[in-house]
């Protein structure tokens, strides 16, 4: 959740939570936190159980976490990925999340709806996760080789002319290679124009012209890359 330093440089560069780096979760201290000299009491009206549930990134429907109470903590497990995060409670609705390097604290603020129920999360003041009732994981589809090959090629950043990605067709999928560091990321098809790296919650959405030629790709629902004519 954005952007917690991602393991993938592409995710970090584009402010993706890592990836989230990306993402949420709660170590809730509901009792007295002791220091050598002081006693700090966190006053809470909301029970830790009230925060449990499934939360989906508003800007990217493939970035989803399940929050559960574990003792005095809230633990967030990424659905479809391996990321597990812990949030520490600072007040009734405010928590803290350590980034992947453990050297930065990221504020996590919960909000309630008119009925007084937890309804969403603000991560670092940049990303919003909405609490949803249920989540159905995306399903892969089988494509013909020609449907995948038409997407392959070199793409240039719409914002920075010096940045490129190269997309290569592989058996039932795509590989994206970053020009700036050589890193490669694999994707599986969800349709003939939508591909996903589920571990990172990283979608690629392609656009074709009237003739069926690929002209651009949208990465992470936010960054446009234009196909280079060769």
Task: Dump pLDDT digits (tens) for 105-142.
Answer: 999 999 999 999 999 999 999 999 999 999 999 999 99
> What's residue 42's pLDDT?
67
DSSP per-residue letters across the chain: --SS--SSHHHHHTT-----TT--------SEEE-SS-EEE----S-GGGG-EEEEETT-TT-EEEEEEETTEEEEEETTS--EEEEEE-SSSEEEEE-TTSS-EEEEEEEE-TTS-EEEEEETTTEEEEEES-----------HHHHHTT-EEEEESS-TT-EEEEEEETTEEEEEETTT--EEEEEESSSSEEEEGGGTEEEEEEE-TTS-EEEEEETTTEEEEEPP-
Residues of the chain with pLDDT under 70: 1-43
> What's residue 26's pLDDT?
33
> What's residue 35's pLDDT?
44
């Amino acid at each position: 959740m954005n952007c917690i330093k991602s393991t993938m440089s592409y995710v970090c560069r584009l402010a993706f939570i890592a990836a989230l780096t990306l993402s949420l979760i709660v170590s809730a201290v509901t009792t007295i936190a002791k220091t050598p000299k002081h006693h700090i009491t966190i006053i809470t009206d909301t029970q830790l159980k009230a925060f449990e549930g499934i939360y989906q990134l508003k800007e990217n429907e493939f970035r989803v976490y399940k929050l559960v109470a574990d003792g005095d903590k809230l633990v967030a497990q990424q659905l479809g990925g391996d990321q597990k995060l812990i949030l520490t409670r600072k007040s009734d609705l405010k928590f803290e999340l350590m980034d992947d390097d453990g050297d930065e604290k990221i504020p996590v603020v919960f909000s309630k709806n008119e009925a007084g129920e937890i309804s969403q999360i603000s991560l670092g003041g940049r990303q919003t996760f909405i609490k949803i009732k249920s989540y159905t994981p995306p399903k892969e589809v089988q494509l013909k080789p020609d449907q995948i090959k038409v997407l392959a090629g070199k793409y240039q950043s719409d914002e920075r002319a010096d940045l490129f990605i190269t997309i290569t067709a592989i058996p039932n999928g795509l590989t994206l290679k970053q020009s700036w560091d050589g890193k490669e990321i694999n994707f599986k098809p969800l349709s003939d124009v939508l591909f996903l790296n589920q571990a990172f919650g990283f979608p690629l959405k392609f656009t074709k012209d009237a003739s069926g030629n690929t002209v651009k790709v949208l990465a992470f629902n936010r960054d446009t890359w234009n196909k280079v004519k060769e």
